Amino acid sequence: MKVYLRGAATTKFGELWNISPRTLVGNAVNDALTQSGLNSKDIQAIFVGNMLSGALGNQEHLGAFFAEELGMIVPAMRVEGACASGGLAMHAGVLAALSGSYENVLVVGVEKMTDYQPEEVASLLMGAGSEAEREAGATFPALYALIARAHMEKYGTTEEEMAAVSVKNHYHASLNSHAHFTSPVTIKKVLRSPVVASPLKLLDCSPISDGAAAVVISTVKPKSKKHVAIVASSVSTDTLGLSERHDLTTLQSAVRASSNAYEIAGIGPKDVDVAEVHDCFTIAEIIAMEDLGFFPRGIAGKSILEGETRIGKKLVVNISGGLKASGHPVGATGVKQIVETYQQLLGIAGPKQIQGARVGLTHNVGGSGATAVIHILALQS
């Protein structure tokens, strides 16, 4: 695997009512290109991660749409896999670079969600789930509440441990000027926030956000001594619906994709210094820690509560603030995880910079785990 990151940027995430998708993408791409030292004429293909632009804005054909907007008349396509659309666009971009067909590839993730009624958006997001789940009237908070209940029952995971994920990620987001929420929260505040789908409360849930992220990847090794390579890109799938699974306390797609990624990269979980994981709900981060091999089963919640994955520790998780606090513009999320990890490895992450990270991992999930995408990034110098 010889693919390098040349530049990476996100917009601010949040309720960005006065900024259009074209401006969001334009800004992220402009910043990523500037950093890469390349100009728009060097880009040979574009992959766009987006889930709901057709259903929400009646704009499909986003590959050509953004190619035109960016003034890059090059091969372009949209990639969709629900909340993993950004990660899948990255995977498609990496495959395109590895194929030898394109030297410099632009990967963009974008979603504009807050212009619409939240109920409408929540309903459309169920397009990621199974027919049976839609017919039953389930929403994603309800599905992840079932997952949380199963994990609590099997391992004794507590609501306080879940709250600790929110507290950590809100604290990290308070260091991130691009985050959707920048105010810290307390365990008490999380536990007393309104119940959405018991045991999940409002502050266990990631928000509906707007935002864009862009990454320039290349098969040409950057000239700078310190640079970041993508050393693994791996995808796996699972059943769309929870009812078809044997065990609700793990996402087997994430287990398969990560063990494959570790093998490709020739590393193990202990080698990872910084991870951006898909904490669409707090329980999802606890399960991710176990699926990725960072903690034994049933131990992640306690460890997070004890601050084991907070800034300053050996393994720092969701230093961006994660989906929970940095925000979750669906198609942008998987690309933003790459941006954050890239910045941490290069040491250009500003006030939220962690020290000495050389290996980073991203974990992007679609639906309730029907798709999982893992990337491993390494600092080379």
Q: Which residues bind a second copy (CB under 8 A)?
A: 45, 51-52, 54-55, 58-65, 67-68, 73-82, 88, 91-92, 94-96, 98-101, 123-124, 126-129, 131, 134, 233-240, 244, 253, 256, 366-367, 370-371
Q: Give whichever of 260 and 353 is closer to a second copy, judged by the CB atom.
A: 260
Angle at 9 between CA 285 and CA 345, to 5 degrees: 65
Q: Give whichever of 11 and 50 is closer to a second copy, judged by the CB atom.
A: 50
Q: Is 215 helix (H, G, I), strand (E, B) or coil?
A: strand
Q: Which of 151, 178, 180, 328 is flagged as catalytic?
A: 328
CB of 63 to a second copy, least distance (A): 5
Instruction: Say how far apart CA 348 and CA 360 lie, in whole Å.
Output: 14
Q: Which of 83, 172, 278, 363 is flagged as catalytic?
A: 83
CB of 200 to a second copy, least distance (A): 22
Q: Give whichever of 26 and 366 is closer to a second copy, judged by the CB atom.
A: 366
Q: Give whichever of 10 and 371 is closer to a second copy, judged by the CB atom.
A: 371
For residues 208-238, one letter each, b for 16 or more C-beta atoms within 10 angstroms of the residue's C-beta and e for the rest, the string is: bbbbbbbbbbbbeebeeeebbbbbbbbbbbb
Q: Give whichever of 131 and 153 is closer to a second copy, judged by the CB atom.
A: 131
CB 110 within 8 A of CB 25: yes
CB of 53 to a second copy, least distance (A): 8
Cα 34 to chain centroid distance, Å, stands at: 23
Map tokens 């893992």 to a residue: 374
* Catalytic residue flag (residue 227): no
Q: Give whichever of 166 and 250 is closer to a second copy, judged by the CB atom.
A: 250
Please state at what angle helix 330-346 crosses helix 85-98, rounded to 10 degrees: 60
Instruction: Say how far apart CA 210 and CA 258 lie, in whole Å.
Output: 28
CB of 311 to a second copy, least distance (A): 33
CB of 59 to a second copy, least distance (A): 6
* Catalytic residue flag (residue 328): yes
CB of 196 to a second copy, least distance (A): 22
Instruction: Say how far apart CA 132 and CA 130 lie, in whole Å.
Output: 5
Please state at what angle helix 282-291 crosses helix 159-173, rounded to 10 degrees: 90
Cα atoms in the Cβ-side hemisphere of radius 13 Å centred on 372: 30
CB 171 within 8 A of CB 184: yes
CB contact set of 282 (below 8 Å; sequence gap of 6+): 162, 163, 165, 166, 200, 204, 324
Active site residues: 83, 328
